[in-house]
Structures are given as structure tokens and as C-alpha cells.
Structure 1
């Protein structure tokens, strides 16, 4: 080995050839290995990569320029190989597990969640796959081969280093120009069938490969200004909002509860359970308004649904992969909690987990919450794994509510639970505590994971019963919105989950799979007005609170009034599609009819102005 090393070190042609291979061949092969990690099957990976090759070559240019810059600075080609190799290894690992648990790939905006993801993933038991092992071996072998390669930048010292820094500006400038003129060019993206504005980017990643798609989405981080946006169109849109008649609106206490990973297991054919997992939900649905809505995400991204419900803002109008709490909610942010605070209500937020996740410790005050409580405010709560039991959270809600209303004040209270958070692995609950389930044709691992999920869902239903039983006996008027944030992946193992074992699911089209995994229940109920098992149909998250407030005639701003009124034209947009007035998911947004376009155009203008513009419409929106 030493003889080979000496020959490479003393041979200038060999050094040049290996350097060229490192700068060109290595980044291309790294992309092949990244796709292998994602896909799993080697032959399928090769076929997919051949189709991706033109776009993979576009991504290779950027990686080569990055490696060139590191090489110039460090004078060692093996260092640039090691740095880029480790970045690609890390990216392939995170991308694989994000797809596994969330169903969508790693996006540039996900980098904002690096710290939060590390806190949550510590309990997931993530393991390396053998594909990742081969990838690591390839990187390590490449570095070892390149260790003896001579550098063309032989001089040492500060002057030489300064010169290399100046030379580095060349590949940096070329990289910037290349990104702007090629990878971020809409015409280039359209030519290759990549659409960075689509809500779910998996198709783009499958066409372009991880590196090229990731870099393309880097060029779409900023919110797009709506078409025809101007002071005049903002003023016209604001003027068209309804005038709030607060004197005729009811002023009960308003309680919102978002339940982690709460949904009904009706998408699992053949499931038999010895426990009624929805008895309390069903009991109160007979007195209220209930149904399924369409969440933004699958198996994660809780804050997107929370943000939509509390603000009435659509994440469909934000850059793909946006994380509003991490990016946009600062200062005095316009939303319903702030409106209620201005109406004289006490505003309380409770999350039974770490408040630093999604910056809730900063976001909640920015949204107008006067009192904010988190995991540390519970005293010796019952736990399941790392998470506080949802029934404990229900009792905490009641305790905080009683304290807040003791002086007769009106209250707006928002709660987020956490018990049913992934990983939902086998054995999360003691055997004598767990519900019993049977489901034919699935693996034992999936069956045991499903058992954990079902047990958690039973506890969630118990929490619903505790809350609504309490409020049904209250002598104060209360209106309650309860909704699950999203469905959750069950039995994740080596990139596969329970749904991947079911022919009834795997035989569906990609569109049908998306719709099957993007619905979760909601329940709107009050103790002062009984409904006869009504439904408001399917809707996006941003219509949930607006719809409930309108239906029960609860005090609300003009913005929420307008949103509820628009449901006769469309229920909203989500998953890149129009939700029709009857709740069915229609065609893509580009195919909306003229009336729907008019509503969406006004909605985009007002939301953009409130979030990113001069805010001139906010007073009218929240009057």
C-alpha cells in the first residue's frame, strides 16, 4: 500500500488524473449512492439514475465547484472529497428517514429544524441501512486513495493562503452565476419537468435526483409577490371584506385543542380492535359539527396545521416546505389569539412538550398569548415513553381554565398534545394497558406498532371525553374546536411502513395515496347550542377555526368572516388542489374556475400584505 502511495505521490500524471476524477466522477457517484439509499433496490436505482443523468450532471457542476474551492483553500484534494462526501452521506441519511416518516424529501427549509429534529429523532431509534454502509465505504475508500495526491498549490504561508482565498472567489462566483442562470432558471426547470412551486416536491426529486432538486429549491425560498399586487389592489381587497358586527356576535370562552397524530383508523381494512377508539368523539359528534379535514402534512409538520388554524393563512401560498413558526412569526403577528386579546379575553397557550420546538416559546407571545405553559409546568404527570399522557394534558387544560376564569374573565385557550407522537414502536405501552388488535396479512412488527398507535388513540379519545364532559357541566358558555394534526406512519422499518404492506394501498395512484394519507378528524362543539350530528365537510386547516366561529356566531374578525363566507365558492386549497364547496378534492389549482380564482387572488393579496407587505390591510382584516 505504501509503494502505491509513493508512486501516486511521485507521479504528476497520476495526481492530475485522480484530481480530475475526484472533482468530476466522485460527486456524480455520490449522487448515485444517494439515490440507492432512497430507493433501496440497486437495479431500480440504476434505471432511475440513468433517467436522472442529465439533471444529475447539472448538480455535479455545483458539487465540483464546491470541491474545487475547498481544494484550493486546503491544498488537499482528499479534504474536499471528505467534506463533500460527509455532506452527501448526511443528506442521504436525513432524506431517507424524512421520506420514511414524513413522506416527503429533505428540503432546504428543513435546515431550520436541525436542532428540533435532533431532539425528536433521539427517541426514534434510527439505524443505518446497508446501502448507507456501502456509501460510507465508498467515501472512505476514495479519501484513502486521494491521500497521497500532490497539490498544485505547493506554497505555504499566509501570503500563499491569501492568494488562494482570492483564487477561491472564482469558483464561488461561477457557482453563483451557474445557480442563478441554470438551476434557478424557471425555463430550465420547466424543460426538465421540475416545479419548485408545487406543494409536494417528491415528484421533482424523483425526476431530478436529490442534489439537483435540493439546489433548485434553494432558489425558491422567498415568498412570491402575488400577481397584480399593488397598494390599490390591497386596498380594494381589504374594502371587500365584510364589516364585523361584533355587537350581535356571541362571546363565549373559546377552547382549541390540536391532538398529536389523532386520526381514525378507517384506512386500514380488516382491522379489529377490542376497544371502541372513538366512543367519546362519536358521542359528542352527535351534538356538534364533525368530519374530516385535509392536513398539509403526513406524519409530521404539526406547526403547519396549527399555524393555519390560528391565523387563517394558507401554507399553500408560501414557498414549498415553509416552516412559518421558524421563519415568519415575529413581533406582533396578526392572528385570532391576538384579536381575542384585543377583545379583552385572557389568552392562554399550552403545549405538553418542549416549548423550544418550532420556537413556540417565542411564537406564542408574538401571536398574542399572555400565558404560555409547557412540559415543565406539569407536576409529576403520567408519562408514556418520552411524552406526557393526553389525559394528563386534558386535566391541565381544565386546571388552567378554572384558574383563568376564577375572576370572571373570558378566555381563549389553545392546547397542543404530544402523547401519540412517533415512533409508535412495539412495546411502547405495558401489555396489560394496551388494547388488543388483529389485522390479517401484516408483519408482526407492524401489528405490534399498530397496537401502540391504537392504544394511544384510545387515550386521546379518553382525553376528549374528560374535556367535553367537564365543559358540558360548566355554567359558562364554551365553544370547543378539537382536531388531529395529521395521520402518522405506523411500523416504520427500513424505509417501509404498514401502508406499504397493504395491496389496497400500494395499488393506488400517487394522487390517491396522497389523499388517503391526508385526512384527519375535527369536532366543533358548544355547551350552549346543540347541533344534530352536522358536518362542515372537508376543508384545509386555515378554515377550521373560521368555520366554527361562523357556524356558532362567535366573535371573530372580518378576515375569518370572509374566509367562512368563501366556502360557498370553494372550501380552500391544499395539496396543490382545489377543495370544492361540497368538500371533494378537485383538480389542480391552475384549473380553478373564474369565481374561485377571484377568491384565491383576493386571499393571496391580503395574506401577503399581512405577512410580508406593509400591513396596510391588517387593521381592516382584524377589526
Structure 2
């Protein structure tokens, strides 16, 4: 049992080291927030106990390999894409493997710790002790894992847990401030469709029936995203242009309906903003099947719809 506990502790610490790619974070910072450490450690030791019930398998070794492999993938994804690893990324594993060939993988400290953890896992498997996991311990572990999962999936707990000097409103920093395994498991909740409270399909149909379908409207709709756009003419103070770069946009603005738009993406998450604008959804569906959007609506009216991405 002592080797299982030590192996789980090593898995937790090594996964924190492997996944760390923010210079503002020190490993010791995580231990100043015991809840963060526990939510990274408890799933590891509980799964190790449960898998330890299987014959010829060292549960702690298996969990160590899986967790640290995911931690290393997370490290490289942040390096190349500036995005953390989410559970839903597993569903597009083949696509991710095809894209990985476009990036050079360098041997660094995180990779060395990962290699060390693999050797430790092999040694643990080779020198597997005969410790017997009783049925009572197994059942208790399963129950405890359910309790831990309840805490992991809680949005309230997730929002309130962070370490010092990390911005909770920047998604990547919020993720990194919680270690690796905990935020990775929390992202499991994102693979399910959002359920709207008090939604009534009947009421929605009744309200939509009050609007007439547009007919004979020769109007072109263009949706253009300029990720680096900034309207400096709105900056307060004496700010004048020799040549106004916004002249054409101002003319277009005068001929159209216009207004401000607030998005929930910053420094990443372009896809989220694009899909929210084109679908009208705040909580995006998973787009695994045909989904009603503004684009489909116009297409059904006879419009030609097309998309271009540089």
C-alpha cells in the first residue's frame, strides 16, 4: 500500500512539473492551495486503487503513464497553440496526430521528467507487490471517486480555486493555475450539450410563428472577422490620422445597422466567437450533427452561402 501511495504522489508532482509552461507559476505555489493539490492527487490514487484490483497490473503505474502522457501533450499544445488540453481533444485524436507533424518536438525538461516517470512506472510494474485490494477498499474507493468527481465538475469550485498572480479571466491562465489533471477532468463537462433552464420547444415555436418569413429581399450579408482590428479613433485624447484608415468602414457603418459587440474570447478562442456570431448561440452546441444556424436559415431561403479562411 505504501508503494501505491508513493507512486500516486510521484504521479501528481511529476504531472505538475511536466505540464508547467508558465514562468509565473512555481510548483510550490500549488501546495499553498491544498484543495488544488487534492483535486489533482485524489483521482490518481483512487483510480490506482481501483485498477490495482486487476491481476498482473500495477494500478499506480498505469495511471502514472496515462496522466503524464496527457500532461506532456498538454505542455506541447500550449507551446504550439497557446491552448490547454481539453478532454474533448481526445475525440479528435486522429486530426491532432496529423497536425502534430507540423511542429518540431524538442527534448526539454518536461520531456525528461516524462521519460523518468515512464522508467519509474516500468519499475513499479516489474516489482509489483502482492498487496491485495479488498472488496471493501474497492467499494470505498469507488464511492470516494464519485464524491471527488462531484467537486471536480462543480463550476463554482472551479472558479474560486486559483493561485496567486494568475488571471482567472484568461482561460489558459485559469487552467494552468489549477495544475493539470483537475482542469483536464473538469473539461469533461464540456462534451455534453448545454441544457437551458425552463426551455419549452412549444413556446419557442409559438413565438417564432409571430414573425413572417422574409421574401424577395435582395440583401447581401457579409460577416468579416478581423482578429487584429482596433478602432484607435475611439481612444480618448488628441488622436488624429494623416490618412484615416477607417474611412471605408465609416461609410459602411453609415449605410447599415451597427453597434458594439462584446465577445468572451481574448487572445484565443477565435472559433468560439465565429460560431456564436453565425449561430446566435451563447452556449455552443457540439456541431456533431446538422445544427440550425443563421447560415442554414439564409440557405433555406435561397441564398448562396460560402466561407473563406486565410
> Please, what TM-score do these two structures have when normalized by structure 2?
0.71
Q: Superposition pairs for residues 544-583 of structure 1, below 5 Å?
A: none
What CA distance in whole angstroms lies between the structure 2 residues aligned with 1:199 and 1:112? Answer: 26
User: What SS does the corresponding residue of 1:415 show, helix, strand or coil?
Assistant: coil
Q: Residue 22 of structure 2 corresponds to which residue in structure 1?
A: 39
Q: Deviations over 1:558-593 (max 9, x none)?
A: xxxxxxxxxxxxxxxxxxxxxxxxxxxxxxxxxxxx
What CA distance in whole angstroms lies between the structure 2 residues aligned with 1:187 and 1:291? Answer: 33
Q: Residue 66 of structure 2 corresponds to which residue in structure 1?
A: 87
User: What SS does the corresponding residue of 2:103 show, helix, strand or coil?
Assistant: coil
Which has more radius of gyration? Answer: 1
Q: CA deviation at 1:18?
A: 2.7
Contact 1:18 1:146 in 2 (8 A): no
What CA distance in whole angstroms lies between the structure 1 residues aligned with 2:48 and 2:79? Answer: 30
Contact 2:278 2:293 in 1 (8 A): yes
Question: Which deviates more from structure 2 when the two are superposed, residues 86-95 or residues 213-222?
Answer: 213-222
Contact 1:182 1:188 in 2 (8 A): yes
Q: CA deviation at 1:284?
A: 5.0
Change (3 A) 1:88 1:235: same
| Count of aligned positions | 291
1:251 is aligned to 2:210: no
Contact 1:102 1:298 in 2 (8 A): no
Q: Residue 285 of structure 1 corresponds to which residue in structure 2?
A: 249
**Which of 59, 62, 69 is the equivalent residue of 2:43?**
62
Contact 1:52 1:207 in 2 (8 A): no
What CA distance in whole angstroms lies between the structure 2 residues aligned with 1:193 and 1:294? Answer: 25
Q: Superposition pairs for residues 102-251 of structure 1, below 5 Å?
A: 102-144=81-123, 147-152=126-131, 170=139, 173-174=142-143, 176-185=145-154, 188-189=157-158, 192=161, 201-219=171-189, 221-227=191-197, 229-231=198-200, 235=203, 239=207, 243-244=211-212, 246-247=214-215, 250-251=217-218
What CA distance in whole angstroms lies between the structure 2 residues aligned with 1:101 and 1:295? Answer: 24
Change (3 A) 1:168 1:266: farther
Contact 2:153 2:186 in 1 (8 A): yes
What CA distance in whole angstroms lies between the structure 2 residues aligned with 1:190 and 1:251? Answer: 47
**Which of 307, 310, 314 is the equivalent residue of 2:278?**
310
Q: Residue 33 of structure 2 corresponds to which residue in structure 1?
A: 52
1:417 is aligned to 2:309: yes
Q: CA deviation at 1:63?
A: 0.9
Q: Deviations over 1:189-240 (max 9, x none)?
A: 566469xxx985445434432112222333464344444x1439x7279638
Q: Residue 11 of structure 2 corresponds to which residue in structure 1?
A: 27
Q: CA deviation at 1:334?
A: 1.6
Change (3 A) 1:113 1:151: same
**Which of 94, 98, 102 is the equivalent residue of 2:77?**
98
Q: Deviations over 1:490-549 (max 9, x none)?
A: xxxxxxxxxxxxxxxxxxxxxxxxxxxxxxxxxxxxxxxxxxxxxxxxxxxxxxxxxxxx
Q: CA RMSD in A?
A: 4.3
Unaligned runs of 5+ in 1: 1-15, 154-163, 268-278, 319-323, 346-410, 419-623
User: What SS does the corresponding residue of 1:141 show, helix, strand or coil?
Assistant: helix
What CA distance in whole angstroms lies between the structure 2 residues aligned with 1:238 and 1:124? Answer: 52
Q: Superposition pairs for residues 442-591 of structure 1, below 5 Å?
A: none
What CA distance in whole angstroms lies between the structure 1 residues aligned with 2:42 and 2:260? Answer: 46
Q: Residue 423 of structure 1 corresponds to which residue in structure 2?
A: none
Q: Residue 263 of structure 1 corresponds to which residue in structure 2?
A: 228
Unaligned runs of 5+ in 2: 233-242
